[in-house]
A and B are shown apart, each in its own frame.
Chain A
């Protein structure tokens, strides 16, 4: 699929990518800052995301909520932070593109003069409530934190989740915000994609006008974690307010776009994509030891983890679940997928890929994808190559990838109902997360 685009780098280092699509009279503005929770330090976790919230609280020349002027012209907008990057987007009627660029450039250039202790306190409370809602008060909500803490050592940038620790959020200071902004929220560390009902000429002229005179900012040193392979299997357990025990198995796996990344994505699809997948069929359909099962290659910039998650059916044990998963893993490591299985998974991968490109903006639309390719690879138009990684894969490649990566060195997390530690896999060590 062709996504034609034009790319310029402004003198201050800001990448600008433009894609024209005249189907609908809207324009997507999508801005990536190459900073995420991986850039945080132990004891200061959750900060990149808290900072993202402050970006919506006004800047020097419009010191009021960021949402209002954009919603007034019929736009929608949001932002998100993950381990690797922070993104911000607006989708506006094409007559309001200039407003969106004015707003984005003002917070890129002039956030700090508008920052106050009151705004900071307010958004810290909002984020603590986001943490309560999405993690603390949700069944299995602490599983992700326990897993990454066991997969990576304390000084590794993926040791904590993006939401961070509550005590770190409470300890954050306004001065940290200033430092963080100066270091990371600069044109040199950002990539701007505009997609939709515009001409490239108009788009570049506006990008120059609004972003061209901002100072480039310092160079951001790359994050290079030391390699810390897992030694054998680590078994941990977590008690939670849940009815059914759940098993999480996680392995270190190759980074986003590295060799075997696409192959493992396909392995996940073979294992748990839909009702004909191997794990669904065996665990849920035939043996009924599990009530749900999922697998994913969670691709990230500095290294990924591959994960299988299965919830035991009532009366069944996690040991049984683990045994059934082991049988299916042995199958994929032994014979690999059949050509027909791989063909089905490829059709699914292609459909998912196109699905993400149906919109010009938002999370996962064309502008977001252009920025992803640009920030991670320096090649905004990587679409065909990306899909080709999947189309190239042969059954033997999946077999080999499963053997290379899904071996005995892994983390096995049992989440069990409170007071029922005996339901965990044997030899699991309790972990404390809050």
Chain B
């Protein structure tokens, strides 16, 4: 029988799904050991959350948290850098260190059979990195070279200028990699002090996701991490979430890039914190405004105007108020028009074109119907669980997420837009050829 093409088929009843159970164990040294069971592919994933991100850099040493994180795998205990990597390599381990504003995440995915030795290596890296002077100097040189290369990358330049413009001297006001001046002035003792103070077992959560039982997974963590004794100093820096942020002001910054074929854009202001009661409304609002392909802004700039390969907005949620920002790279001669369109979309969603019921359904679909596909792999599950540790979320966070999004009304989204998007106070950063872009001054 030929297919009925007169209308799109309706989806059947929604399949049942539940987030895997998380079990928690607190080790005697204060390390939190959290586990979830997942066993389709013989891979095992562990994620260490250390509440020490770039926002904890001393004011005059931006880049300290990041370079400390980078040196974790440059030797630990009796292993020098090459011996450590030889050992990781032979276990089939993939190591990934990520230093964000609020935290350092060290992730390791490895073959199921290498669970215990991989965990032992990871614990050694976290608890007793060597942080030797020669390694520090080598890695610092690599980071200085990286900074040099980033000067030619429009997205990196735009990101830096936008971040500085939004936050000024606030701990969120610099990129994790830091600055050339700071890296040059840094000495390895600063890294050792940062590690002593911030890599405190009591600030660490280890999340293991793999095959087997919760008990066995937690035992593996305990054997590896249980002996870690911290020696935290008395000076722990304040949670950046508690520090004041400079008031938003409208501003336009053009960073010249002669004869650039496109302008790299960042448009936005400081947004909301992860703890905001508007969190679910803002995540959904973002999907309507610019967070997915069919959103208003991508439909406008890409699918109607053809100005760009893609435009997206995001609320970057952190412990403190993270940025709300539009990212796009647009053809140079359309720069002024693209900026105008973005501002008018920001205005319209809180004003003359509020969110409709239809848009709400389309915006929340990935969060409700599409929710399970975000938790397919051990790594995805570990990263999801890390949010609970990092943002002090409720234990039932994953089971209440979908119902909370389903309870939202179009008015809730429009209200959130009015409260959290301010077209009068946007920082606009353009990296491009000002003349080709038709910009004045």
Residues of chain A touching chain B, judged by Cβ–Cβ distance below 8 Å, are 1, 21, 23-26, 60-62, 65, 67-69, 71-76, 91, 93-96, 98-99, 102-103, 105-106, 110, 121-130, 132-134, 136-139, 197, 209-210, 213, 241-244, 273-276, 281, 284-285, 288, 291-292, 311, 313-314, 340, 343-345, 347-348, 350-351, 354-355, 357-360
Contact = CB atoms under 8 A, between A and B. Distances in A.
A63 to B, nearest CB: 12
Contacts of B379: 358
Given A21-B40, A73-B365, A350-B92, A122 B306 contact: yes
A344 B331 contact: no
Given A95-B13, A344-B90, A65 B303 contact: yes
B309 A130 contact: yes
A351 B92 contact: yes
A72 B287 CA distance: 12
B277 interface: no
Given A275-B81, A358-B377, A213 B89 contact: no
A26 B42 contact: no
B109 interface: yes
A24 B365 contact: no
Contact of A129 (B304, B308, B376): B308
B309 A129 contact: yes
A358 B3 CA distance: 33
Given A93-B11, A129-B306, A130-B309, A242 B149 contact: yes
Contact of A355 (B6, B109, B152): B109
Interface stretch (B58-66, B137-145, B189-197): B137-145
Contact of A93 (B14, B151, B260): B14
A406 B396 CA distance: 57
19 contacts: A61-B6, A74-B366, A93-B11, A93-B369, A93-B370, A95-B11, A98-B11, A103-B8, A124-B306, A128-B331, A137-B154, A197-B15, A275-B73, A275-B85, A276-B86, A291-B145, A344-B89, A348-B92, A358-B379
Contacts of A23: 40, 376
A5 to B, nearest CB: 15
Contact of A122 (B111, B304, B370): B304
Given A65-B303, A213-B2, A275-B82, A71 B292 contact: yes
B299 to A, nearest CB: 8
Chain B interface size, as a band, is 35 or more
Given A281-B82, A359-B377, 19 more contacts: A26-B373, A67-B294, A95-B11, A99-B8, A102-B9, A106-B5, A122-B304, A126-B303, A133-B309, A137-B264, A139-B153, A209-B3, A244-B149, A274-B89, A291-B146, A314-B148, A343-B90, A344-B86, A351-B92
A128 B331 CA distance: 9
B145 A314 contact: yes
Contacts of A25: 15-17, 372
Contacts of B153: 138-139
A283 B138 CA distance: 12
Contact of B361 (A72, A133, A292, A354): A72
Nearest to B377: A358
Contacts of A68: 294, 362
Interface string B255-299: 000001110100000000000000000000000000011100001
A71 B366 contact: yes
Contacts of B365: 71-74
Interface in B130-183: 138, 141-142, 145-146, 148-149, 151-154
Given A93-B369, A210-B3, A276-B86, A125 B152 contact: no
B376 A360 contact: yes
A93 B368 CA distance: 10
B42 A1 contact: yes
Contact of B362 (A71, A124, A197, A345): A71
Given A61-B5, A91-B373, A129-B308, A136 B261 contact: yes
Interface of B: 1-3, 5-6, 8-17, 40-43, 73, 81-82, 85-86, 88-94, 109-111, 138, 141-142, 145-146, 148-149, 151-154, 260-262, 264, 292-294, 299, 302-304, 306-309, 329-331, 361-362, 365-366, 368-373, 375-379
Contacts of B329: 129, 132-133, 137
A121 B370 contact: no
A106 B93 CA distance: 43
A98 B9 contact: yes
Nearest to B5: A61
Given A122-B304, A137-B154, A102 B109 contact: no
B362 A350 contact: no
Contacts of B15: 25, 93-95, 197
A343 B302 CA distance: 48
A137 B372 contact: no
Nearest to A102: B9
B149 A139 contact: yes
A163 to B, nearest CB: 11
Chain B CB within 10 Å, residue with most, of A61, A68, A71, A122? A71
B17 to A, nearest CB: 5
A187 B58 CA distance: 62
A165 B375 CA distance: 40
A25 B11 CA distance: 13
Given A313-B141, A359-B376, A354 B306 contact: no
Given A288-B138, A314-B148, A344-B89, A75 B309 contact: no
A69 B141 contact: no
Contacts of B40: 21, 23, 358
A127 B377 CA distance: 32
A244 B373 contact: no
Contacts of B368: 74
Contacts of B369: 73-74, 93, 96
A161 B383 CA distance: 36
A132 B302 contact: no
B182 to A, nearest CB: 18
A122 B303 contact: yes
A60 B9 CA distance: 16
Contact of B8 (A102, A340, A348): A102
Contact of B111 (A125, A275, A350, A357): A350
A138 B14 CA distance: 44
A65 B151 CA distance: 38
A347 B11 contact: no
Contacts of B294: 65, 67-68, 71
Given A26-B376, A62-B8, A93-B11, A243 B149 contact: yes
Contact of A244 (B3, B145, B377): B145
Nearest to B331: A129
A106 B9 CA distance: 12
- The 3 closest A-B CB pairs, nearest first, are A74-B369, A125-B306, A74-B370
Chain A CB within 10 Å, residue with most, of B10, B304, B370? B370
B52 to A, nearest CB: 23
B166 to A, nearest CB: 24
Chain B CB within 10 Å, residue with most, of A105, A123, A138? A138
B14 A354 contact: no
